[in-house]
Amino acid sequence: MKRIHTVAIMILIGILFVNTATNVEAVFMQSEDSGPTIEWYGPENSSSSVVIAWDGAYTGQTEDGWSLRAWINDTHGVDTVIYMIRETTETEWENVTPSLVEGNDTIGYYQYNYTYAVWWNYNLNRPQVEGTGGNFDFKIFANDSLGHWTETGILTYSGGYMLVVPPPEVSFITNLLPSLVGATVLVVIISAVVILRKRH
């Protein structure tokens, strides 16, 4: 079951960097002439970073992810928008192209669905995610039709599953089976006692 989360619907358990950037016009690393304006939930400038700590729920889904969104505006017209993503254990960025889901090339809302596989690890008895899962870095690059560009600071997502609902067969094995084993042992003990009493 596919799940795409937004910051608005996830349970945020803290922001590990004091920052008040929430969809405001910010000052980023830019070319000499002003590049596009990027409005998002990330850091206010290119030299700072924000960490969003989150917790989620595993209920048997096979895919999880985030919907990464931003307003990107430029009076000359936005030419290129690149979302840059990397796992927290990596040093190289992966460049992806978001979709323009609202507006136009001067005032546009861009979105990219970042997803990763999730499965139940029966050996470890817990959910496991592809790569680093919901732990990744994210930043945005954009330029306009005149070649002026803007690049944001880094927004880091960090978290995991606080609520875990095991598969039904795991619930059976970990809960019912030990009870059956215990009941079997109890029956054997009772039977042995009855046999001993009959012999006496």
pLDDT in tens, 45-63: 777 889 999 999 999 999 9
Give the C-alpha distances (Å, rounded to integers) separating 99 from 50, 64, 112, 146, 181: 24, 19, 6, 21, 56
Beta bridge partners of 149: 143
pLDDT in tens, 106-144: 999 999 999 999 999 999 999 999 999 999 999 999 999
Query: Is 41 in contact with 23 (CB distance < 8 Å)?
Result: yes
**Model confidence, pTM:** 0.73
